[in-house]
Structure 1
């Protein structure tokens, strides 16, 4: 055998529901060449090297359906395409991008395979496939491969490219409720819901978080003034403009004091319990380095707490803890910080770590803490000596169940006074299970965009479902953020009925978007002319906050090459089963395979939605079994067995009878329109519409609760309205 190779012929990002799954995937078309003759059980040492490098493969159940299933397939003999799938998935998992779905299928020609993996970010998954290919070839040829190094590279990509864990907790909670989401930028700006029913989040800020409220929260002095006016206990304080003024203010408000920036965050630049002039003046410089102004406040005795307020309730509370090291007589303070504090797996530089690493430089409060203890970063504390490094910023202990109702009420009031719908309220109190006022506790800060990770991954105590709380705050229990979405697919016969249905929805008074082969439309005005259908163009309709309903025409090529531009639909229509002819570059297989692809249009129909199917096409009619919702059959002939049987069971059907369009549910009939009417005759003679188009659109409109009078008037008036 010549040198083994696995060649990528093409990688396709299917960004929406597709022939493989509801979720976005990367579909790789590969050529394994002579490895087609070399299943895994014929490659000496391959399985052992692979599992030694990636021991997590034992968790892959594969088609066997049990832990270790994939390893069984390796021992029995499986081909490189299948191995590539599992190795790429495992690399993604090791890098922190959890995905479990994958497929590997022969594409037709010998040695050509389609390998599919679930993706949460296209760039990461593309690289995972490339790395998996290189790893497999190294294992086959018994060459060294730096698995930890490659996983580290992928991990860095995940950290920099994927949405952060706080945002993900909200998105996942919304998804659990059936609320769709669209990522709007490379950061954490995410849309929940579609069209005019959408909401937007940016980590823990929402489209209800006003710029005024955020500006107030950043101004600590203004925040305190407003809270004081409303009777919320806050520490007395003064803004100062020099180290000397800081000392004078400290004497004024009473020692000891806290010195901090007026517009800082994450406890950076905050120095606590200062009584000496030199410490207070040094703390001024530290605070100024982290903000634009410095405030000196009366020091509140007690423990620091962070209360997460969402809407009108406190949903999570964490208590702070100090960070200390213990001397051993050998290592410096700086070395002890690395050994005893920064080695904690909860600490890191990225957002998904609940605690920050501690870095010493001239502007950190830790330097001042050391100085107050007669130490510096280079000091070597004697064995057993406890050295305080940091007093603030370590909110790691969940105490939500201990919070007194008065404390929670004060925190909610503070958030409301500032104007924030989601707020991180910092307070200092000796016992959070008792009322705030009698024990001299006070609220010291109200923050916009609070971190959520401390509540999702506390060091001690229960994780709190804060993402769920925010999703429920944005969407009431009966609201899934969806607008009526219609998907229509066929074999070159769907553009006219799609445009007619969009017209009927427009007449109903809905701001209606349409993506079809002729272009992109909003309220009958063409926004973009294009040849064929495009995923990104179509999704513009779902991002548009003015859209109240949307119709999407798709075809087999669009489905195979891009996926659907929406996750689920209220109405899924299939008019005719397409053929495989003309799709050779996508390796679709024979015509017999097409129903397994086109069923995607019906798979995505919501349980409360409807599938509209052509009863005259047996392959289309058979898709009814894949619908989670109800079904409407249509055909020219009302006596067609499929249609008649459905109607006899009380189902809804549409058909033509002696030139009359009839919509029927069981024995009840609605006569919609006649081909003898002059307006209908005009449409047919000018080939503006065909009778099949009218039937499909009428049935679809009926499924969307448009009355027969409006359907009749809409079809008769179609083509007379000006279009741009």
Structure 2
């Protein structure tokens, strides 16, 4: 049996809500060729080979709705496109980028399928598709495929392109709150919310993090000086540039001392409990190598290292460090002892997934120096029962949030406030975090801007802390989602004209309005770009504009199929008509039901407090009303349209023409009557644009008198004007 390979016809990244789902997906068009005649249950050994390569497929639910559902489909017989969908999802999961959504649908062309799968990052998703295709071919043809190598390649892409774990955690918390996000760079700079109500984060820094405060936090000596003036206990210290100065400072301060780099972080180059000239000279050399010319010598305060995370004015998480020791067995060197007694802990590793770092006594400069102080090297074999100190500081990953005494938390919050940081990692040395500050020798040793969050998100022991929720509560008031009013307009007839009219009507209400449509890109009444700006990129530019209070978007069906919508949710969604599907044949849209699936995307994204504005005269558009999570306003030229009349009878909002007037009605009550003869002369075939605009602005809360003013003052584009 000779079977052709699967061919990729097209691969596209749908970056916003689309015909498949609300989230970004990779859409691939597949020609499975001869495999159309060979479902999975007809391929000898295929099931066994595929499940051996990807045992994680056992938990895929598929249409059955329970773990094992996909394997059941494999045994019964399913086609290559559907199988590839699950293979790609599993590869992404194995690479550390959790995803679960996928769909595969056959087109009207035999053997050609559309397959979509959720991806959190385009480059990773595209690479997973190629790896998955190779894996699937190997399973079908019984050829070799290195799954481990493929996983490593994808994992490297995840590490390179995806948000860091701390930023990703904050973004997830924003999503829980219904706050939209836009990634502004390839790094961790993220916009939360839209337009004038947006905020920005950069890992654990916010757009309210003061640059002055960051400079102060970076100047350890200045930080301690300010803290001391505010009554925060800090160790006495001096900045030195030479080993002789370090020894003189140590004698003046009083032994033992700590020596650390002035510009160091994460405990690098820090040496504790130094009491001899030899140790201080060696520690000075290490600190200078790790942090530049300036070195700090400061008073040694006995106790455990702690990191307290301050968000706003509150301590929201705290972690304690631990000292690392090994015990000799009389035949293993220290490298082996560290591996067996420390690194064997499953919580230790070399990636960010591990809450504790793996230790390397033959390479870590701080550990080498600590061993030298004990007269040892990494290759020494300690006597049986001898305890060897490996690391005094670091390992700050043991959650103690619930143990922190209020006076300790208050001191940490005060330190952050003195420096001026809205989010800060306050390093403290404490004998016991549960005891009051005045009953122990405790001190703040450092205040950090942009603190790492992993110790609190993935602690070595204790509970993970909801840091992201705390940061969202700090940045946004309760109930605030950072959203501005968004209007999306979809259809195939006069949608650009409608978008311009709606935008104009909002402008005269003194709102700061942006518009992206086929006629161009507008800020207020000013056209900034005359090109077609109905696509995703122009829409994103609107959302990122910090001055806008409302944004209007025109969406073509081609744009939805190519990119998806530019936003996740909208306030008002307008569908004017379905039009003809002939122009979409290149997308395999060859039936009214398929066109309906494209156009309903606009209604699917309306917020629960939002409104769908629908053309009651188009039966398929009217059918979309139940899809809306919010309210519905129907419009039509005549009040006798059955759908509109029924909606009005049920107390709904409607807009229609009657006796030379444009009427807005709530149930049987007339809200406004606008005489058509007071408006500019519109062609008869454009009157529905007036109705849709009135309905849209009414949905946004515009008073009837302003609706009338907007319709009266809009300048009809020349190509749409009545010619006498």
Instruction: Tell me the TM-score range normalised by the shorter chain.
Output: over 0.9
Contact 2:517–2:532 under 8 Å retained in 1: no
Aligned to 2:432: 431
Aligned match of 2:721: none
Aligned-partner Cα distance in 2 for 1:198–1:343: 46
Deviates more, 1:332-341 or 1:608-617: 332-341
- Distance (whole Å) between structure 1 residues aligned to residue 487 and residue 673 of structure 2: 21
CA displacement 1:389-424 (0-9 Å, x = unmatched): 211121111111111111111110100000000000
- How far the C-alpha of 1:631 sits from its partner, in A, is 0.6
Q: Report the equivalent of 1:34.
A: 34
Q: 1:10-39: per-residue Cα shift (whole Å, max 9, x none)? A: 101000000000000000001111111111
Counterpart Cα distance in 1 of 2:715 and 2:246: 76
Return the offset for 1:343: 4.7
Cα distance change, pair 589–228 in 1 and its aligned pair in 2 (3 A)? same
Corresponding residue number in structure 2 for 1:325: 326
How far does residue 330 in structure 1 lie from its aligned partner after superposition?
Answer: 4.0
Q: Which moved more, 1:376-385 or 1:296-305?
A: 376-385
Measured in 2, the distance between the counterparts of 1:393 and 1:201 equals 27
Q: Which residue of structure 1 lines up, in the alignment, with residue 393 of structure 2?
A: 392
Which residue does the alignment assign to 2:252?
Answer: 252
Q: Deviations over 1:651-695 (max 9, x none)?
A: 111011122111111232133422212x522xx26x9x9321111
Report matched runs for 1:275-294 at 5 Å: 275-292=275-292, 293-294=294-295
Matched, 1:691 2:691: no
- 3-state SS of paired residue (2:510): coil
Tell me the equivalent position of 2:274. 274
Match of 2:463 in 1: 462
Contact 2:335-2:362 at 8 Å conserved across structures? no
Alignment partner, residue 536 of structure 1: 537
User: Is the counterpart of residue 133 in structure 1 residue 129 in structure 2?
Assistant: no
Q: Contact 1:504 / 1:714 at 8 angstroms: preserved in 2?
A: yes
Deviation of residue 387 (structure 1)?
2.1
How far 1:384 moved relative to its partner?
3.7
Alignment partner for residue 702 of structure 2, among 703, 706, 717?
706
What is the rounded CA distance, in whole Å, between the counterparts of 2:158 and 2:327 in structure 1? 35
CA positional deviation for 1:339: 4.5
Superposed counterparts of 1:186-265, under 5 Å: 186-265=186-265
Kept in 1, the 8 Å contact 2:13–2:27? The answer is yes
User: Which runs of 5 or more structure 2 residues have no equivalent in the other structure?
Assistant: 719-724
Does the residue aligned with 1:225 lie in a helix, a strand or coil? helix
Aligned to 1:372: 373
Where 2:629 maps in the other structure, the secondary structure is: coil
Q: Distance in 2 between matches of 1:334 and 1:705?
A: 71
* Structure 1 position 715 matched with structure 2 position 716: no
Partner Cα distance (1:75, 1:456) in 2: 40
CA positional deviation for 1:720: 8.6
Equivalent positions of 1:164-175 (< 5 A) are 164-175=164-175
Question: Displacement of 1:386 after TM fit?
Answer: 2.8
For the residue of structure 2 that corresponds to 1:606, the secondary structure is strand
Q: What whole-Å deviation, never above 9, does each CA across 1:284-303 have from its counterpart, x for those lacking one?
A: 11112222321111111111
Shift of 1:349: 4.1
Question: Which has the larger displacement, 50-59 or 361-370?
Answer: 361-370
1:314 paired with 2:302, answer: no
- Tell me, in whole angstroms, the C-alpha distance in 2 between the residues paired with 1:707 and 1:358: 68
With over 3 angstroms needed to count, the CA separation of the structure-2 counterparts of 1:260 and 1:318, relative to structure 1, is: same
- Return the alpha-carbon distance in structure 1 between the equivalents of residues 363 and 262 of structure 2: 20
Q: In 2, distance between residues paired with 1:108 and 1:289? A: 67
Deviation at 1:336, TM superposition (A): 3.8
Q: Which residue in the other structure is 2:722 paired with?
A: none
SS at match of 1:637: coil
Kept in 1, the 8 Å contact 2:488–2:602? The answer is yes
- Is the CA contact (8 Å cut-off) linking 2:615 and 2:636 kept in structure 1? yes
State the 1:547 CA deviation. Answer: 1.4
TM-score, scaled to structure 1: 0.96
Deviations 1:328-358, CA, capped at 9 Å, x for gaps: 4444333444454445443444444333343
- Give the C-alpha shift of residue 67 in structure 1: 1.0
Question: Is structure 2 residue 93 aligned with structure 1 residue 93?
Answer: yes
Instruction: Quote how far apart the aligned CAs of 1:40 are.
Output: 0.5
* Whole-angstrom CA distance in 2 between matches of 1:180 and 1:720: 35
Cα distance in 1 between the residues matched to 2:535 and 2:146: 40
Inter-partner Cα distance in structure 2 for 1:225 and 1:555: 61
1:709–1:256 Cα change, 3 Å:
same
User: How far apart are residue 599 of structure 1 and its match?
Assistant: 1.3
Q: Which residue of 2 aligns with 1:177?
A: 177
User: Offset at 1:589?
Assistant: 3.2
Where 1:690 maps in the other structure, the secondary structure is helix
- Structure 1 residue 433, shift from structure 2 partner: 1.1
The verdict on how the C-alpha distance between 1:396 and 1:73 changes in structure 2, with shifts beyond 3 A counting, is same
Contact (CA 8 Å) 1:218, 1:264: kept in 2 or not?
no
Residues 641 and 282 (structure 1 numbering): CA distance in 2 closer, same or farther, change over 3 Å?
A: same
Instruction: Choose 689-698 or 179-188, whichever is displaced more.
Output: 689-698
Q: Which moved more, 1:308-317 or 1:374-383?
A: 374-383
Find the counterpart in structure 1 of residue 662 from structure 2: 661
Please give the secondary structure, in 2, of the residue aligned with 1:150: helix
Task: Tell me, in whole angstroms, the C-alpha distance in 1 between the residues paired with 2:673 and 2:188.
Answer: 49
CA offsets per residue over residues 172-220 of structure 1, 9 Å max, x none? 0110110000111111111110111111111111111111111111111
Contact 2:18 2:560 in 1 (8 A): yes
How far residue 254 of structure 1 moved from its aligned partner, in angstroms, is 1.0
Secondary structure of the residue that 2:291 maps to in structure 1? coil
TM-score by length of 2: 0.96
The residue that corresponds to 1:59 in the other structure is 59
CA distance in 2: counterparts of 1:488 and 1:580, whole angstroms: 18
Contact 1:353 1:453 in 2 (8 A): no
Q: Matched residue of 2:226: which SS?
A: helix
Aligned 8 A contact 1:164 1:188 in 2? yes
Question: Counterparts of 1:624-635 in structure 2 under 5 Å?
Answer: 624-635=625-636
- How many residues align structurally? 717
What SS does structure 1 have at the residue aligned with 2:260? Answer: strand
